[in-house]
Structure 1
Amino acid sequence: MQGVWKSYGTRAVLRGVDVVVEPGSLVGLVGENGAGKTTLLRVMVGELAPDRGTVLRQGEVGYSPQDTVINPLLTVAQHLELFQVAYRLPDVERARTLLGALGCRDVLEQRAGTLSGGTRQKLNLVLALMHQPTLLVLDEPYQGFDWDTHQAFWRLAHDLRDGGQSVVVVSHLIHDLQRFDTVHELRDGVLIEGARAL
């Protein structure tokens, strides 16, 4: 992203944001509530168009928004099949493996509306990951996770990074900041990188 601006009415949320997410990097994004972090992510993945500036993406993008994208009437297995078709995947084995890694391999036949908040968030994450995107963008992905699943998430994030994927995570947890290769703070519509963000 280079020189990206985004406003809502007269309020400029992003004011010339510049950021490059290198392949095989794990990038943290922090900032106060209302700073525009979700807007930045939505522009990054192409869900929102910037008012000005340039956004270049290479390869597939995976996006796990804060609000889950699941249908409460469909089972977990039906979600996997739906996204299999959308992503043109030959099977859903990777998705099943990811569910297992996150400790919820036994929920395939449950309707999404009956799942706990944490399990819905896990499904949301798996749907963003199952096509092995080049860039994975996660907006507070571990809300509702217990400690074991939180740790499993970070093992998965580091495995993805080590496999050459780029991972961007919005986090409010101070103890997670050392897990990132780089941390950016969104402040007054501008990204600030490095120790100043902490």
Structure 2
Amino acid sequence: MEAKGVHHSYGGRAVLRGVDVELPAGVLVGIVGENGAGKTKLLKILAGQMRPSRGVVRHGGRFGYCPQRVVLNDAFTVRQHLRFFAAAYGIPDLRRAEEVIKILGFAEYADERAGALSGGTRQKLNLTLAVMHDPQVLLLDEPYQGFDWETYLRFWDLAVRFRAAGRSVLVVSHLAYDTDRLDQVWRLRDGVLHGRGEGAG
């Protein structure tokens, strides 16, 4: 995935001022910044949910997007969500989804309605729906909010598996304490990405 010269204004205020992003295969990258810095706006533009004021975004393959705000149908069970998204993605079975559910540790909730799930389990489902079609580029907005420590570690295990499979993973967060898990860390400040550097790798 590549983005060049992305600008975006909101309410007359310039939020993004010429952002460039390039995600080669097999990298785990983070964008950190304060609340209101424009991280979610940038991710929505990269995912195609919003159009930039200026600039271009190019995708070279399948991509998955996990928004910060969980959007589920409270009347559907976990399994019904999986079947619905499998049909939408055009994938023949739920093997990939079931593998992710096992990694994240919520298989016992497969027949529970989304409305009865805790916030953390809803977020697990949100993440599963974003990755069940094995995307080549994965865009994650605050993906581990509501997770307990064990699930947080399981999330990073999943992210590392994606990287090892040659996928590109972009994690957006307002917290910087997990940047040592990333190959590169970019900071969004004043509408521009700063300090592109290497993490732990």
Above 0.5 in TM-score?
yes
Structure 1 runs of 4+ with >2 Å offset: 171-175, 193-196
1:86 aligns with 88
Given candidates 164, 171, 174, the residue that maps to 2:173 is 171
Structure 1 gaps, min length 5: none
| Superposed CA RMSD | 1.4
Match of 1:100 in 2: 102
Q: Distance in 2 between matches of 1:172 and 1:52?
A: 25
Tell me how many residue pairs correspond in the alignment. 197
**8 Å Cα contact 1:25-1:167 kept in structure 2:** yes
User: Secondary structure at the residue paired with 1:55?
Assistant: strand
- The answer to whether the 8 Å contact 1:185/1:193 transfers is yes
Give the C-alpha shift of residue 69 in structure 1.
1.7
Per-residue CA distance 1:44-80 (angstroms, 9 max, x = gap): 1111011111111111110000111211110001000
TM-score normalised according to structure 1 size: 0.96
Partner residue in 1 for 2:16: 14
- Deviation for aligned residue 1:173: 3.4
Residue 187, structure 1, aligned to residue 189, structure 2: yes
Instruction: Indicate the SS of the match to 1:150.
Output: helix
Amino acid at match of 1:82: F
Partners of 1:137 and 1:167 within 8 A in 2: yes
Alignment of 1:68-83 (within 5 A): 68-83=70-85
Structure 1 residue 10, shift from structure 2 partner? 1.1
Which residue of the partner structure matches residue 139 of structure 1?
Answer: 141
**1:134–1:36 CA distance, 2 compared to 1 (3 A):** same
Q: Which residue of structure 2 aligns with residue 161 of structure 1?
A: 163
Secondary structure at the aligned position of 1:142 is classed as: coil
- Give, in whole Å, the separation in 1 of the partners of 2:29 and 2:159: 10
TM-score, length of structure 2 as denominator length: 0.95
1:43 paired residue among 26, 45, 48: 45
Contiguous gaps of at least 5 residues in structure 2: none
Tell me the equivalent position of 1:110.
112
Residue range with higher mean Cα deviation, 169-178 or 68-77? 169-178
Contact 2:75 2:114 in 1 (8 A): yes
The CA distance in 2 between the partners of 1:143 and 1:51, in whole Å, is 30
Could you tell me which residue of structure 2 aligns to residue 62 of structure 1?
64
What is the rounded CA distance, in whole Å, between the counterparts of 2:160 and 2:170 in structure 1?
A: 12
1:189/1:173 CA distance change after superposition, 3 Å: closer
Give the distance between the partners of 1:6 and 1:172, measured in 2 at CA.
19
Matched, 1:128 2:143: no
